[in-house]
Amino acid sequence: MAAPARRLCHIAFHVPAGLPLARDLQRLFGFQPLAVREADGWRQLALRSGDAVFLVNEGAGPAEPLYGLDPHHAVPSATNLCFDVADAGAAARALAALGCSVPVPPVSMRDEQGAATYAVVSSPAGNLSLTLLDRTGFCGPFLPGFRPVPSAPGPGWVSHVDHLTLACTPSSSPKLMRWFHDCLGFHHLPLSPGEDPELGLEVAAESGRGGLRLTALRAPTGTEVPTLVLAESLLGVTSRQDQVEQFLARNGGPGLQHVGLYTPNIMEATEGVAGAGGQLLTPPEAYYQQPGKEKQILAAGYEPSLLARQGVLLDGDRGKFLLQVFTKSLFAEDTFFLELIQRHGATGFGQGNIRALWQSVQEQAARVQEA
């Protein structure tokens, strides 16, 4: 373990100037402005909901944006994960010794609120870079170089980041798992009993043609780092791309496909998001008509028709369950979406819900192709 991550500081996006991502995060999902920097052709706005922080980098300039990289990427996407580490300089040197590319060597930043040191490391997951940050000497609301932005309290729909899902090329999950283990200290988190780390959890399509392979990774105990999920397509005979294949094609390779945001009240959150104009993914009707599904939902204390109306999925057993809802893509290029998740004792991701998402995306793609 070369650079153990202690907590996730923020997730950064790179978008063209004028794209309304920052506005949509505020208006649709209840994020509030935290701090801003405008310099060198960049507008960098940090937004926060609970402990979840998104940094939206707009534009392009002659220099790199602070605390990240200009990915020179053709489409808007989530491009950087920033992790808190004990010593950014030592972490960068350790990763370089393992053969990692460090495009931004350790840099120290200071303003009237203190100092921070960071380095940026390339990852094997496409255009996704990792920032290693030590801000123990900083007492401001975000980071040195940013101006605080006063804002009113948000609705509180999101409390923290629950998980991060990377879309990967077929058969690449074992290699990525070893990289995140050796470099950042992640360990395999089984999603099913007796799961082989090399194979992960296979969610096959009902037709038997294609499906998804999911491999979950968790950071060492005692850290505040979300679960990392690696998603790849199972090779099958089908003429239609699944959502991972679509992402790879539109993003130009692997990357951060979606972020799971934890909500303390998913019914209130989905009603608020939908009421603000947010677009949620509609599960297939058959999901709520599965044998035993109505009984399962009622046993958890929810009304099946209300969950169906708001597109909320429920999965679990033995008194432990979770609820999930997925948004449509935040970008026209279909390179990123959000998930809202609420847990009641369940620690996985719900195999039935994963299959429902896969089928829903497939059905919507089929309708688009037939139109």
- The DSSP H or E segment spanning 295 is helix 293-299
pLDDT for 359: 64
Tokens representing 215 are: 């491999």
**How far is residue 22's CA from residue 320's CA, in Å, rounded to a whole number?**
35
Poorest-pLDDT segment among 46-60, 95-109, 211-225: 211-225
Cα separation, 226 vs 9, whole angstroms: 11
Evaluate if residue 371 carries a pLDDT over 70: no
CA pair distance 76, 98, nearest whole angstrom: 30
Q: What is the mean pLDDT of residues 133-159?
A: 95
Residue 225 placed within a domain: no
Q: How would residue 253 be classed by pLDDT, with cut points 50, 70 and 90?
A: very high
* Per-residue tokens: 143: 């980071």
Confidence class for position 321, pLDDT limits 50, 70, 90: very high
Q: Which residues pair with 108 in a beta bridge?
A: 117
Specify the pLDDT at position 31.
98
Nearest to 62 by CA among 38, 39, 40: 40
CATH label of the domain that carries residue 61: 3.10.180.10
Give the tokens for residue 213: 């392979």
In a domain, 86, yes or no: yes
Structural domain containing residue 125: 5-148
SS3 call for 329:
coil
More confident: 70 or 102: 102
Count of structural domains within the chain: 1
What is the distance between the alpha carbons of residues 363 and 359, in angstroms, rounded to a whole number?
6
- Return d(Cα 256, Cα 73) in angstroms, integer: 13
Is residue 254 pLDDT above 90, yes or no? yes
Q: Does the residue 50 lie in any domain?
A: yes
Which tens digit of pLDDT belongs to each residue from 221-251? Answer: 889 999 999 999 987 645 567 789 989 999 9
| Average pLDDT over the chain, rounded to an integer | 90
Classify residue 99 by burial, with Cβ atoms within 10 Å: 0-12, 13-18, 19+.
Answer: exposed
For 26-48, what is each residue's pLDDT tens digit?
A: 999 999 999 999 998 999 999 99
The pLDDT of 180-184, averaged and rounded, is 93
The whole-angstrom separation of Cα 75 and Cα 252 is 9
The answer to the question of residue 346 being in a domain is no
pLDDT of amino acid 197: 86
pLDDT value of residue 237: 46
The fraction of the chain above a pLDDT of 70, given in percent, is: 91
The tokens describing 301, both together, are 């204390």
Q: Is residue 16 part of a domain?
A: yes
Question: Looking at the predicted structure, is the pLDDT value of residue 368 above 70?
Answer: no
User: Mean pLDDT across the stretch 272-284?
Assistant: 93
DSSP string, 89-131: HHHHHHHHHTT---SEEEEEEEETTEEEEEEEEE-SSTT-EEE
Sign of the CA dihedral running 62, 109, 102, 131: negative
Pairwise pLDDT comparison (319 vs 36), residue with the higher score: 36
Assign 287 a pLDDT band (cuts: 50, 70, 90): confident
More confident residue, 236 or 163: 163
On whether residue 138 sits in a domain, the answer given is yes
Secondary structure (DSSP) of 154-214: ------EEEEEEEE--TT-HHHHHHHHHHHH--EEE-SSTT--TTT-EEEE-TTSS-EEEE
Mean pLDDT along residues 323-345: 95
In a domain, 303, yes or no: no
Residue 132 has pLDDT above 50, yes or no: yes
Please state, in angstroms and rounded to a whole number, the distance separating the CA atoms of residues 325 and 341.
7
Q: Which amino acid is at 320?
A: K
**Domain-embedded: residue 199:** no
